[in-house]
Amino acid sequence: LSSKPNLRRVGILGGMGPAATVDLMAKVLAATPARRDEDHVPLIVWNVPQVPSRPAALRGDGPSPLPAMLEGARFLQGAGATALAIACNTAHHWADALQRAVSIPVLHIADAAVAELMARKPPPAAAGLLGTRETLRSGIYQGRMAAHGIPAVEPDEAMQAAIERAIADVKAGEMDRACAAFIPVADALVERGAQALVLACTELPLLPCPAGLRPRLLDPTLALARAIVTHSRGEPCEGCGPDVS
Amino acid sequence: LSSKPNLRRVGILGGMGPAATVDLMAKVLAATPARRDEDHVPLIVWNVPQVPSRPAALRGDGPSPLPAMLEGARFLQGAGATALAIACNTAHHWADALQRAVSIPVLHIADAAVAELMARKPPPAAAGLLGTRETLRSGIYQGRMAAHGIPAVEPDEAMQAAIERAIADVKAGEMDRACAAFIPVADALVERGAQALVLACTELPLLPCPAGLRPRLLDPTLALARAIVTHSRGEPCEGCGPDVS
C-alpha cells in the first residue's frame, strides 16, 4: 500500500433492497487491503428504496423504475463517482439504459460474476443459475456465459417456484425454511451438470449452505465488490468498462 | 404502516471509519418497522474515508477535517437530505460548526444517546462514559448528561489507556483481547456508581460483552439509528432539531 492512496470514488445505486446495499458495502470493506480508514474505497451511496417494483415493471404490471434509478445515477455522477454499481440483480435489466444516460462506466454485476467463473481453474463446463424469475428472463447472465462458452443450467418451473420461496424466506429471516427449499434445487442442478452455481439474487448468498455445496457457489455481490475495489484502486479489471480516470 | 409511506431522506456523513457507517446503516434497517423495501428509510450516504485524522487534528497535530466534512454535508443537503447524521463520535467535535454551515438539522449522537438514558426507568443516577480520549475531552456527552442531572463517571488515566487498546483491538478484529481490556474498566466504573455505561465509540458496541453487563450498556449508534428512523417518519423526537419538512 502506498502511504497516499489515490482512490477513485465509486457510486452505489442501492435501496433495491436496502439490505443488499449494506451487504455490498460490507463486502467492499472486506475485499479491500487496508490498514487505515483512508485506505478504504470512497463510496457514495444512493440507498433510496422508493423505487417502483422491478418485478412488477417487468411483468408489465407497473411503472418503470428507470426514472428513479436515473435520478440516483446522475446524482452519484455529480458527486464525483467515476463508476457506478447497482446493488440488485433484477435491476440490471435497466443497466444498459442507465449506461447510455451517464458518462461513467457501470460496473455490471454479471460481467464481474462471469469473469470470476472464467478465473476458476478449470472454468466450469456448465454453471447453474439461481435467481428471480425476472433475472433469469432478462438473460443478463446467460448471454455473457454463452459468450465465454459456459452453458447455463436453469431450473425448471417447479424448481423455480422453490427458489422464489427461498428468496422470500430469506427476506423474512426464515433461514431453515429457505435452506429446505434451496438445497434440493441446487443438488438437482449439480446432477444436471452444473459445476458451479451462480447465486444471482442478493438474498441467496445470505443462506447458510451445506459445506459440500460451498466450493461450487459463486456470489455475484462479492464479485461486484471486488470489481469496485479494483476500479477504485485504478487496476485494470474485467467488466470495469472504459477507464475514466 | 400506511400503504404509501412518505419518508424523509436522511444524509449520513460516514467514512470515519467505513465500518461504523455500515454498522449505522444496518442498525437503521433493523430499527425500521418495514414489510417491504419501500417502507425503509431513504438514506444518502457519503462514505468517503479520505478525511484528515480527527484525533490528530484534536491534538493540534494535523489539518482540520471540517472542510472534508463540509463537502459531504453540502452534497447530502443538495441531494434532498432533510437531516444529517454523523457516523462517528469523535467527529461530533465539529458537529456545531457543521450545523452552522447547513440549513438542515444535524441529528446529534449525544442528544440521541442521552434521550435514551433519560427514557430508562428509572434514569441512571450516574453513567459511565467509554470512548476515545478525544471524545471524552470534547465534552459532547458530559454537558448533555449534566443538563439532565446525570453525572458522568469517567475512566482514570490507566483505565483510559486500556479503553484505547480495546478500541484498537476491535479495529484489528482481536475481540478476545479487546474484551480482556474492556471488561475490568467497565466493572470498575460500575463499582464507582455507574448504573449505565455509554459506549461512546462506534467500535465498542461490536464487543461480545458478558451477559451481566448487557442491561447497563447504551449504544449511541443504535440511539442515533432510532433518531434517524423517527425523523424520517416525521415523528417528533428528542435531538432531531427543528422540523424542516
pTM more than 0.90 = yes
Q: What are phi and psi of A232, to 5 degrees?
A: -60, -40
Residues 6+ apart with CB under 8 A from A239: A107, A108, A111, A112, A114, A115, A227
Per-residue confidence (pLDDT) for residue A208, from 0 to 100:
85
C-beta of residue B72 within 8 angstroms of C-beta of residue B88: no
- Give the model confidence (pLDDT) of A185-234 as tens digits: 999 999 999 999 999 998 899 888 788 888 999 999 999 999 999 999 99
C-beta of residue A155 within 8 angstroms of C-beta of residue A189: yes
**Residues A44, B47: C-beta atoms closer than 8 Å:** yes
Q: Which three cell numbers stand for residue A193?
A: 451438470
Q: How far is CA B231 from CA B31, B86, B107, B121, B225, in A?
A: 12, 15, 9, 24, 10
Per-residue confidence (pLDDT) for residue B181, from 0 to 100:
96
Give the separation between CA A106 and CA A241, rounded to whole angstroms.
7
Nearest to A74 by CA among A48, A93, A55: A48
Mutate to test the interface with B, among A1, A3, A37 (most CBs of B within 10 A): A37
- Give the model confidence (pLDDT) of A79-94 as tens digits: 999 999 999 999 999 9
Q: How far is CA B60 from CA A230, B54, B134, in A?
A: 35, 10, 12
String of b and e for A208-235 (b: at least 16 CB within 10 Å)?
ebeeeeeebbbbbbbbbbbbbbbbbbee
Give the residue-averaged pLDDT of B231-240: 75
Give the separation between CA B24 and CA B108, rounded to whole angstroms.
14
Q: Which residues of A touch B25 (CB under 8 A)?
A: 18, 21-22, 25, 47
Nearest to A9 among B25, B37, B48 (CB): B48
Q: What are phi and psi of A128, to 5 degrees?
A: -75, 150
- Give the model confidence (pLDDT) of A12-58 as tens digits: 999 998 999 999 999 999 999 888 888 999 999 999 999 999 989 99
Q: How far is CA B65 from CA B47, B56, B68, in A?
A: 14, 10, 6
Q: How many residues does chain A have?
A: 245
Nearest to B171 by CA among A39, A151, A182, A71: A39
Q: Which residues of A touch B7 (CB under 8 A)?
A: 50
Strand order from edge to edge, sheet including A152-153: A152-153, A127-130, A196-199, A217-218
Per-residue confidence (pLDDT) for residue B44, from 0 to 100:
98
Nearest to A83 by CA among A42, A51, A140: A42
For Cα atoms A142, A176, A179, give the angle at the middle one, nearest 5 degrees: 20
- Give the model confidence (pLDDT) of B111-142 as tens digits: 999 999 999 999 999 999 999 999 999 999 99
Number of A–B residue contacts, CB under 8 Å: 88
Nearest to B56 by CA among A42, A80, A38, A107: A38
For Cα atoms A97, A102, A103, give the angle at the middle one, nearest 5 degrees: 130
- Give the model confidence (pLDDT) of B41-74 as tens digits: 999 999 999 999 998 999 899 999 999 999 999 9
Shortest Cα–Cα distance, B52 to chain A (Å): 9
String of b and e for A66-101 (b: at least 16 CB within 10 Å)?
bebbbbbbebbbebbbbbbbbbbbbbbbbbeebbee
Per-residue confidence (pLDDT) for residue A243, from 0 to 100:
46
CA B237 to chain CA centroid, nearest Å: 16
Shortest Cα–Cα distance, A217 to chain B (Å): 25
Shortest Cα–Cα distance, B216 to chain A (Å): 28
Q: Where do we find the cell 445470505?
A: A206
